[in-house]
Amino acid sequence: MRVMLLCHRFPYPPSSGAKIRSYHILKHLAQEHEVTLAAPFRSPQEREEGRGIEDQCHRVLAEEIPPLAARLRMIGNLMNRTPSSMGYFLSPRLLHRVREELAARTYDLVLAHSSSVAPYVADVRGPAKILDFVDMDSQKWLEYAKVRPFPLSLGYRIEGTKLRRAEEELARKFDACTCATPFEAQTLESYGTGVPAEWFPNGADVEYFRPSAEPYDPDTICFVGKMDYFPNSDCMVDFCARTLPLLRARRPGIRLLIVGSDPTPAVRRLARIPGVTVTGAVKDVRPYVVRSAASVAPLSIARGTQNKILESLAMGVPVVSSEVAARGVDCVAGEHILVASTPEGNADAILRLLEDPAERRRFAEAGRARILSHHTWSRAMRRFGEIVRRVTRADGPAATAVAAGVSRSSTERDERD
């Protein structure tokens, strides 16, 4: 089976949410099939790092998008129907090479990973086509519009509205569209495109993210995330202002670790609060998480799956999450994860884990077990394989080959998980 995978970022190294899912898709497909990867890059360093995935590709189409050019295209789209975010990921040279490649060689499947690169192949005819939205980004921008001050709120509302329209138009040009959660798929289904809206979950690397034999600190909690991402920075500022004082009133020695790269000035100022540590970028988040009694995810804006939740649970560290953040994880509230949506509720749930070692152990074991049963990448790829089978069935034996190949390699991994 010959497959073209388009990504809005090079899927290597799989160090962020934008790369992890596409990395595992490519890795599983490449075990049995001839995969051409097409992706833009932003710097020579990013391109060099991306070479780590090339041994799994039959060929690679890569073109640089200089940051200035990306910003100018975003600005240029402000006054037309095209979302600015799509201008940011447009490379005319890459577009030309993708179209040239598809005209020169016969492909069985084209998979666009995210709506940002869907325009590259939206009008291509011949191969089966899948658009993996992952999350419905338009809804995130519209949520931003509700909480950001004017004029940012207006900008987000305009972008969200444009992207909502583009998502619907693009979906109609593919044979199937996928998301990372049932909730996102329901949102897509509500557009009424008539195109199948399916989903397959994100997973966690359960060998890399695993429980530690080292003891945890019953007075330490943590938050992990890229700290220039607005939902992350916003929730930590709010948490320190409204929840941390409640925790400190009942447990004065409590410590909060805010772990993640590129903290904003507002986040860096949180380090002035006694007991709060802002680490900035770290080589490995695992030591910070496993030494914590609990991991928190009190986001008020969240779409799709929060990998921070999957990874903490995989390490046997209980999670206290907001309702919207927990929505993207296949866990039962009160059984595998604690869910709260007010400062008082957050404080009570966190203290429940800190003050009762048996309760903390119960959630640690249940959370890890749920990831092993519902959120391994092998399980995710089996579901992905089923979607590929349905989409490519009309192509005959090749369709069975690609689906069987993905499923077979996934099953082998299941046996090792």
Residue-wise pLDDT tens digits, 219-230: 999 999 999 999
Residue 16: pLDDT over 90: no
Mean pLDDT check: name the lowest of 109-113, 386-390, 408-412.
Answer: 408-412
**Rounded to whole angstroms, how far apart are CA atoms 341 and 108?**
46
**Rounded to whole angstroms, how far apart are CA atoms 346 and 315?**
21
pLDDT band at residue 32 using 50, 70 and 90 as cut-offs: confident
Residue 115: half-sphere exposure toward Cβ, Cα within 13 Å: 26
What's residue 289's pLDDT? 98
The two structure tokens encoding residue 15? 């160090």
Residue 416: pLDDT over 60: no
Residue 295: pLDDT over 90: yes
Q: Order of strands, edge to edge, in the sheet holding 292-297? A: 276-280, 255-259, 217-224, 292-297, 319-321, 338-339
The two structure tokens encoding residue 186? 């329901």
Residue 359 sits at the vertex; the CA angle it makes with 353 and 360, to the nearest 5 degrees, is 50
Give the torsion sign (CA, 80, 86, 92, 95): negative
What value does the mean pLDDT take over residues 360-366? Answer: 98
- Cα 294 to chain centroid distance, Å, stands at 22
Cis check: omega of the bond before 127, within 30 degrees of 0: no
The two structure tokens encoding residue 156? 């987000």
The answer to whether 247 and 273 have CB atoms below 8 angstroms apart is no
**Rounded to whole angstroms, how far apart are CA atoms 237 and 343?**
12
What value does the mean pLDDT take over residues 209-214? Answer: 94
**Rounded to whole angstroms, how far apart are CA atoms 61 and 57?**
10
- Cα 188 to chain centroid distance, Å, stands at 17
pTM: 0.87
267 closest CA partner among 300, 228, 301: 228
The two structure tokens encoding residue 120? 């590259």
For the chain, what's the residue count?
A: 417
pLDDT band at residue 265 using 50, 70 and 90 as cut-offs: very high
Residue 279 sits at the vertex; the CA angle it makes with 274 and 285, to the nearest 5 degrees, is 125
Residue 409: pLDDT over 60: no
**257, containing H or E segment:** strand 255-259
Sketch out the chain's domains with CATH numbers.
2-203+376-416 (3.40.50.2000), 217-374 (3.40.50.2000)
- pLDDT tens digits, one per residue of 234-244: 999 999 999 99
